[in-house]
Every structure is written in structure tokens, then in C-alpha cells.
Structure 1
Amino acid sequence: MIADLYHQLGGYLHAVFVLNLDVVVLVGLIGQLLFTARFLVQWIASERAGRSVVPVSFWFLSIGGGLILLGYALYRKDPVFILGQSLGTLIYVRNLMLISRERRERSDA
């Protein structure tokens, strides 16, 4: 019984991660890696500062990963993924706009 479950699970994982692998999936994985890297960047920056910080690179990785994942979602015609990545990308761009405005105001003062 357990051996059958392991065999079925192994077959499923093989189908998902090996048989489904194509250029589109690789592009999606690259987008997901960029998106995940943003958390590593934020964690490292926070550890260095000794407090929670969100570096500008976090937002650029968010935009890069988000746009690649949005393209992947559009190609796959996944409405849930499309809506999530569309809204997220707008939020990331807006955060960069706010950061830019704040920096200009500080340099003018």
C-alpha cells in the first residue's frame, strides 16, 4: 500500500517536473527564481542593518520576476495568476515611484 503511494507520487512528480519541462516552463522557473531572490536580498539587508529593511533591489527583483511570471501566466491563460501578477507588478512600480520621489525631496532639502 505505502509502496504504491510512493510509486504514484514518484510518477506524478516525474510527469510534472520532467515530462512537462519545456522552454515556457523554464522561463516561468526563471521568473520564480527572481521572485524568490527578492526575499533573500531583503533578509540579507535586514541582517546587515540589524532591523527589518526593504532595499530598492527588492522592488526591482519583484518587477522582473513579476513581469516574467505575468508573461508565463498569460501564455498559460491562467486568470488567477494573471490577476495576481498584474496587481503585484503595479504595486512594485508604485513603490519605486515613491522611493524616487522621497529621494528627490531629500536631495532638494
Structure 2
Amino acid sequence: NLELPFRDESFDAVLSLAVVHHFATTERRVGAIRELARILRIGGRVIITVWAMEQRHRRFESQDVLIPWQPPRSKNAAASDEDDDDDFLPPYHAYTEDSTNSSRSAGDGDSSSLSSSSPGE
């Protein structure tokens, strides 16, 4: 369910930090963005960050990848006491400039004020 528990046009600003790229399909990603737009007041601002496929420090084999993740470990826990089975592979969709533009144009509203940029660029 992609419905957020807020009334239409409830917020002056909406943040979605490292969330949208976890949805498995384009339809669900676009649905999530539309839901953000629904709760945003007219003239409000939205910031959406996603993983970019074009990165200097990491190469992805495809746009849809599983990236190993391990929960943070306690500073006091001995490495030998930790269980490596805690690792899991959350799905990520790494956006290209083209896929960002496709998602942007899939919305119903005016996207002329939206721009994409990579951190540090």
C-alpha cells in the first residue's frame, strides 16, 4: 500500500531520502512519487534522492541490483561473536539520467521546476 496517512495538500515541503529506489517496479516508483505530490501543498517543494547508476565510486552491473547490507554492530561485541547470517540483500533500483527523466515525465503535474543532480557534482 503506497497511501500515506495524510490529507491532500498537507505539507509545504516533503522529503523522500533513499526510499523510491527500493520499489520493485516503475509503476510503484511513479505511484510513490504521485503520493508525495498528493500530500504536497500547491507551490510546495519536494526533495527526492535515489541511488544513481552513473557514479564515480561504484559500478552497477544493471539498474536492478541486490546490495549486501549488514546491520550496525555494537562497538562492544567481539567480531567472533557476531553471526554473518545477519546480512541481507535489499533491492535497489539505480537510476540513470534517462530513467529519472522517464519517472519525472510520468507524473501528471508540471515538472519544469524539477531537476536532478548527483551529490558532490
TM-score (norm 1): 0.26
Greater share of residues in helix = 1
Greater share of residues in strand = 2
Q: Which of 1 and 2 has greater Rg? A: 1
Higher normalized contact order (CA 8 Å, seq sep 6+, divided by chain length): 2
TM-score (norm 2): 0.24
